[in-house]
Amino acid sequence: MHIRYGFDIEMQFSQPTTLITVLDVHPSRRGDIVREQDLSALSNHPTQAHIDSFGNLSRRIHVEDGFLHLHCDGIIRDSGEPDKAVQRARILPIMALPKEALIYLQGSRYCETDLLADFAWKHFGEITDGWQRVQAVTDFVHSHLSFGYEHASATRSALQALEQKVGVCRDFAHLAVALCRCLNIPARYCNGYLGDIGVPADPAAMDFSAWFQAYLGGEWYSFDPRHNQRRIGRILIGCGRDAADVPMISSFGRHSLSKFEVVTELAAEEQEAASA
């Protein structure tokens, strides 16, 4: 299966400004890219790319002239299979975890494990199987929070999402991440592309999506409390402790957003084949 992905973003600045972006497809998926118009080649601004401390492909872009146009259009190869599910995947003892996973047991900016631990153990502590425990957390968050773009807040934490019972996909992910960490399961926040492939089309404008990964049985597995489905065509961009680690655009100066469009869909030739 081939999936088209990309974005068109325009920003205005009142003074010379530097940005840091995490908008490129994650290094773990770059080997699947069939073709891609490079983001930096179209920006016409000094750009430096690097791998950040969480393994994401990040860029520093300096804007002198007050206008920035970021554009990406690519095709990626995908298995066409839903997110992997391994019911027997178990919780590893903390002493058996790789050192790289330990940071994902700790509280972070949006995931207050110290304030949610009692709640987590009370509601999920009796579930001993790893996969079933993470799925129970996912089921709970999916049913507990009401989704709506009108509920978007850049500062809402996991605890606040639990109390307010509303949010967008990042809030669903933050609450699930925090609860899993309270239960001694490493969990990390993820964002990227998720098109309406294999599911009814959503009439809302396309946007980037957020989900989370839990570390079970020596592997990272994706869970999606917003949709609570094993979805097809998930394309990872970035992962970290929470959204503070992987902001798609960090601007070190005042700006306004004049255009923001995201596309994720079956490549044109596959759409034609599906409709034939």
**HEC profile of 127-161:** CCCHHHHHHHHHHHHHHHCEECHHHCCCCCCHHHH
SS3 of residue 40 by DSSP: helix
Which pLDDT does position 273 carry in this prediction? 55
pLDDT value of position 204: 87
273: Cβ contacts below 8 Å, ≥ 6 apart: none
Instruction: Give the CA distances from residue 241 to residues 85, 112, 211, in Å, rounded to whole numbers and listed in that order.
Output: 22, 11, 12
Q: What is the pLDDT along the chain (276 residues), one digit of tens a residue?
A: 999 999 999 999 999 999 999 999 999 999 999 999 877 666 688 899 999 999 999 999 999 888 999 999 999 999 999 999 999 999 999 999 999 999 999 999 999 999 999 999 999 999 999 999 999 999 999 999 999 999 999 999 999 999 999 999 999 999 999 999 999 999 999 999 999 999 999 888 899 999 999 999 999 999 999 999 999 999 999 999 999 999 999 999 999 999 999 999 999 876 655 555
| Among 137, 139, 134, residue whose Cα is nearest residue 90 | 134
CB neighbour class for 137 (10 Å; exposed up to 12, middle 13-18, buried from 19): buried
**Radius of gyration for the chain, computed over Cα atoms and rounded to the nearest angstrom:** 19
The predicted structure's pLDDT at residue 54: 97
β-strand 146-147 against 166-167: which pairing, if any?
parallel
Residue 161 and residue 144: Cα distance in Å, rounded?
9
Q: Which residues contact 247 (CB under 8 A, 6 or more apart)?
A: 20, 22
Question: Tell me, what's the pLDDT at 39?
Answer: 76
